[in-house]
Structure 1
Amino acid sequence: MNILLVDDEPIELEQLEYLIKQKFPTWNFLKALDASQATQIAKNNDIFLAFLDIQLPGKSGLELASELRASYSFEIIMVTAYQNFQYAQTSLRLGVADYITKPVIEEELLSVLERYEPIGHFSEQISKALNIIHREYSLKLTLNYLASAIHINSAYLSRKFHEEVGMGFSEYLNEYRLKEAEKMLLQSPDLSIHTISERCGFNSQHYFSQMFRKSTGKTPREYRLQESVR
């Protein structure tokens, strides 16, 4: 699995690679000192995840992130020595996965990397598929779209997905959407059930409620009330 690291300080690149390798020793690291090098690497390699320093010579990391997001489907984590709230806001608006500050603290980095642990040990193709599901679960995802996005045959993806993940694409997608709905119900108490069902990719609130009850034994409303008082 290819990981892109972008920083104009070689020692920072080496440290970041060292810290990440402790968690994911099989990942392959590709390093760039500026946006131009990073763009070329992204063009010639299948990237799974990118860490971009905001303060780069020439084109900034935020500009680079915007361009990469427009052309590729991999996730991006911004890294900066400046604890600037505006940088964080801009990063989130660009759709990056996370934002960490320098000097990089190992515990903070590992916390950010936790989200990739469930997919970090699958094959590169399935890791990419899961990465897209985790990022775009709110959209109308199909197996054909997923296969096209990672450039493989849909029948092959279906078989490989089941072999590695232990369930079919549709089942996994629904399970992931329901887990996200559980979090949203508790973290966003002002959001209506209808809004949450839409944001989690369900076609109707009725279908969402049926699936949620089948999964948890409670309706979304019951779950929110019972879990919020614990």
Structure 2
Amino acid sequence: MVIRIMIADDEEVIRRGLEKIASRMDLEVKVIGSYGNGHEAWNHLQKLSLNELDLLVTDIKMPRMDGFKLIEAARAHLKTLPIAVLSGFSEFDYARKAMRFGVLDYLLKPIDKAQLYDLLQSVGENKQTAAAAVQGQVPPQPSEGGEHYVVEQMKSILEQEYGLNFELERLAELVGMNASYISRLFKHKTGQTITDYLIGIRITEAKKMLLDHPDLKNYEIADRVGYSDPVYFNKLFKRMCGMTPKEYKGRYRS
């Protein structure tokens, strides 16, 4: 089975590298177009049907027509076309926005061979049933590589925003996915619930503050790590650490 892909990226070395890696896999992959900007890719893509293209792989930041506009145009033309975004972790804000268009996966730069293989294999397996897709179909959930990307970004958001009031719906919105889905995904990938992971971050930060900022009051530390109720924070800290914040500071502060 031939898997026909189109690549759009303004870095020639990335395009050539992707083609080279794909050509060496035990999958029959045919690159039907490789373009340095979204405009050139769209000129070709708009002439194709779902029977002629199996996967679009696109960068976000490109000249003439960026990845967002290309994805949006591709979605309007071929509603169920699998699309993967080429991105780095530093570009997550761009990738997160693209997810709302039903992006299937993320190929992290530099391209990981195993992730690319998983993506192409998934596209190939789903190709047989593609003809049965109907308009308005829910976009597919990310494949293995995309799931890893989403979980890592959830972790990053929690680590940066642990001091804020946690809202699952807001986290879901930030990664562009359903709240119940990201809860199941996070537990499946990490073995922890999102709440337990956040508690771990908050208690770790509280420990640092207790030792590095001894003048801070207990309620101030509680507030800084996201707990408006210092009594609850005290009980949670003791449950997690086996001692109260005051006892911890007394024992470990030199």
Instruction: Indicate the residue corresponding to 2:36 in structure 1.
Output: 33
Instruction: Indicate the residue corresponding to 1:6 in structure 2.
Output: 8
**Mapping for residues 92-111 of structure 1, pairs under 5 Å:** 92-111=99-118
Amino acid at match of 1:2: R
**Mapped pair 1:17 → 2:19:** yes
Q: What do the CA deviations read for 1:93-138 (whole angstroms, capped 9, x no partner)?
A: 1111112221111122223333224246xxxxx46416x37x9279
Amino acid at match of 2:65: K
Instruction: Indicate the residue corresponding to 1:62 in structure 2.
Output: 68
Indicate how the Cα distance of structure 1 residues 48 and 109 shifts in structure 2: closer, same or farther if over 3 A, else same: same
**Aligned pair partner of 2:125 in 114, 118, 123:** 118
Indicate how the Cα distance of structure 1 residues 60 and 101 shifts in structure 2: closer, same or farther if over 3 A, else same: same
Bigger Rg, which one = 2
Q: Is this contact kept in 1: 2:5–2:29, CA < 8 A?
A: no
Amino acid at match of 1:72: L
Instruction: Indicate the residue corresponding to 2:219 in structure 1.
Output: none
Amino acid at match of 2:93: Q
| Matched residues, number | 137
Q: Is this contact kept in 1: 2:8–2:57, CA < 8 A?
A: yes
Q: Is this contact kept in 1: 2:27–2:121, CA < 8 A?
A: no
Instruction: Indicate the residue corresponding to 2:84 in structure 1.
Output: 77
**Aligned pair partner of 2:94 in 78, 87, 102:** 87
Shift of 1:61: 0.8
Q: Is this contact kept in 2: 1:2–1:28, CA < 8 A?
A: yes
Amino acid at match of 1:18: K
Q: What do the CA deviations read for 1:7-36 (whole angstroms, capped 9, x no partner)?
A: 112221111112223142243431111111
Indicate how the Cα distance of structure 1 residues 7 and 30 shifts in structure 2: closer, same or farther if over 3 A, else same: same
**Mapping for residues 197-212 of structure 1, pairs under 5 Å:** none
Q: Is this contact kept in 2: 1:55–1:80, CA < 8 A?
A: no
Amino acid at match of 2:20: Y
Q: Is this contact kept in 2: 1:23–1:110, CA < 8 A?
A: no
Q: Is this contact kept in 1: 2:55–2:123, CA < 8 A?
A: no
Distance 1:82 1:58 in 2: 24
Q: Is this contact kept in 2: 1:79–1:102, CA < 8 A?
A: yes
Indicate how the Cα distance of structure 1 residues 23 and 116 shifts in structure 2: closer, same or farther if over 3 A, else same: farther
Instruction: Indicate the residue corresponding to 1:228 in structure 2.
Output: none
Q: What do the CA deviations read for 1:128-180 (whole angstroms, capped 9, x no partner)?
A: 416x37x9279xxxxxxxxxxxxxxxxxxxxxxxxxxxxxxxxxxxxxxxxxx
The residue matched to 2:55 in structure 1 has which SS? strand
Unaligned stretches of 5+ residues in structure 2: 140-180, 186-254
Distance 1:15 1:58 in 2: 23
Shift of 1:42: 0.5
Instruction: Indicate the residue corresponding to 1:47 in structure 2.
Output: 53
Distance 2:110 2:14 in 1: 9
Q: Is this contact kept in 2: 1:48–1:128, CA < 8 A?
A: no
Instruction: Indicate the residue corresponding to 1:194 in structure 2.
Output: none
Q: Could you state the TM-score of these two structures normalised by the residue count of structure 1?
A: 0.51
Indicate how the Cα distance of structure 1 residues 119 and 85 shifts in structure 2: closer, same or farther if over 3 A, else same: closer
Distance 2:57 2:40 in 1: 14
The residue matched to 1:83 in structure 2 has which SS? helix
